[in-house]
Amino acid sequence: MHPNIIRLTDVLEVSGLLVLIMEFVEGMSLKQMVRRDGPFEVELAYTIISQVCLGLDAAHRVGVIHRDVKPQNILITKVYGVKIVDLGLARHLGGKSISQTGIIMGTPDYMSPEQVRGKSVEARSDIYSLGVVMYEMFTGKLPFTGSTSVAILLAHLRQPPESPMRVRPDLPPWISYMILKAMAKRASQRFSKTTELLNYFEKSMAEAKLEKKTGKRDTKRAKEKVAPAPEVKSSLQDRRASRKKLRVASTVLVASIVILTIVAVIALQTQLESSRRVQAIISSAEEHEKQRNYQEAYDVYIDGTRELPGSIPLYLRAGLAYIQYLSQQHPLSLVLSLLAILVLLLTPLFLIQRRLRR
């Protein structure tokens, strides 16, 4: 049994219930510690995270993943020793996955994207959850919040976390990079093992101490640490590509409207100039319009369209006459109908513009 994993001393059955007896840990949970002390300093955070990494690595090496890594399941002793508890959701990697049934297991605030999807998970799922724990340790807040558990789960799936350096400006860039890499949406972009994360932590912390002592800075290494994690880069590229597609679609839509308008005007002018019969029908209908008898005018235009089925001006004037007739007989219904049509036309354009402003 690893010293950073809670020791199970006995298993009993009491009144049909399974009772687990574990060692007593005098101290508090990491969650209580975060709430009490606020954001952690690097040295203390390393003391705790290093032990969590070693404990999880011991479980991963024998094929067991935790599935519910969170501050509530990390107990801290009075001398800052770590005990990882609540392995109730853990399973052997070679066994049957509970996720095959489509059941989502874990805590929403710390759940990896693959857990949210109900897929089989591996050790890197625990690394994602550990990344969320580190985010909370260093910033004092969770990367994703929402009014419901579903909103939080969707954020884990789709939303890139805010850079820890924005939440806490004094945070070293390499810590921000380490957290974001651990929290990459794609498992392949995270640290492959908890020991790899720990090695990065130790090496970066040693380099930071050396830089502070000597005043010399490794420029190449510093640029690597300032760079966003792979998943953040991918997310930004996807957003730029999406905005570019929206701009192209908006441009094509506007161009199509302009072209159709020009064609309609040309066709209208051609029809007006080429058909004397059309002019005669219009003149006859206008006599009724002058007397505000729009129903008769509409009938004249409709009769004209039967005689000249390709006449665009007659169709347009028939429509106008019918609108005028409706405005006389049913003005309120006409206004409401026009407002509904206006809303239907403006809604897609509003949605496109809103997406472009994001």
Q: At what angle are helices 123-139 and 173-182 packed, to 10 degrees?
A: 140
Q: Burial letters for 105-132: b for 16+ Cβ neighbours within 10 Å, e otherwise?
A: ebbbbbbbbbbbebbebebbbbbbbbbb
Phi, psi of 82 (to 5 degrees): -120, 135
Whole-angstrom Cα distance, residue 139 to residue 175? 11
**68 among known catalytic residues:** yes
Q: Are 221 and 207 spatial neighbours (Cβ–Cβ below 8 Å)?
A: yes
Q: What is the DSSP letter of 102?
A: T
Chain centroid, CA 287 distance in Å: 62
Amino acid at 117: R
Structure tokens at 268: 């209208």
Task: Give the three-state DSSP class for 56.
Answer: helix
Q: How far is residue 66's CA from residue 355's CA, in Å, rounded to a whole number?
A: 39
Pairing of strands 17-22, 8-14: antiparallel
Q: Which amino acid, 146? A: G
Catalytic residue chosen out of the listed positions 10, 37, 57, 68: 68
Q: Tell me if 97 sits within 8 A of 118, measured CB to CB.
A: no
Query: Which residues are CB-neighbours of 28 under 8 A, at least 6 positions away?
Result: 36, 75, 76
Active site residues: 68
